[in-house]
Structure 1
Amino acid sequence: MASIKNLKKDINYVLGDVIEECYFYELSNPSADTTKAQAIIDEAISSFDSLIDRVHASDVENKKAHFKSLKADLESVATGLLEKVNNL
């Protein structure tokens, strides 16, 4: 099982990359409306907060299954956010 430290780093890096892509879009398209990009950034931040809260949950019965579901949720959230960024 991977360490909790590595899982928190993965969450930080993946969602940080999504936010970075939004900022890159804003810089590349200065005349475009940035409200959609800001909404994606806000969604990434709230997803980060909820995933980190779930990492720190102490009332988990099966830790291995819990962390496996966290990784799957991170992947699905990141995929969804990147699709939104690509549609900008």
Structure 2
Amino acid sequence: MANKRDLKKDINYVLGDIIEEVYMWELENPGKDGKSGEAIIDEAIASFDSFMARANERKLENPKKHFKSLRDDLEKTAKALVEKVNAL
């Protein structure tokens, strides 16, 4: 099982890459409205905060199950955000 530090790095890298992709889209499409991109960035930041809070929880009954569900939720959230970026 991977440790908590690696999980936090994964959260940071995944959501950071999505935010970076939105910024790249905005640079490549300066004439288009950036409101939808800003909404995706705001959602990614809110997700980051939520995931980091869950990763920092203490006194868990079943840590293995908790972190597995956290990874699954991260994957689902990342896929949803990537679909939104692709729809821009």
> TM-score, length-normalised on structure 2?
0.98
Count how many residue pairs are aligned between Structure 1 and Structure 2: 88
Aligned to 2:79: 79
4+ runs deviating over 6 angstroms: none
Aligned to 1:13: 13
Shift of residue 60, structure 1, vs aligned partner: 1.5
Aligned to 1:40: 40
Query: Any unmatched runs of 5+ in structure 1?
Result: none
Shift of residue 59, structure 1, vs aligned partner: 3.3
Aligned to 2:64: 64
Structure 2 distance, partners of 1:56, 1:12, is: 14
> TM-score, length-normalised on structure 1?
0.98
Query: Any unmatched runs of 5+ in structure 2?
Result: none
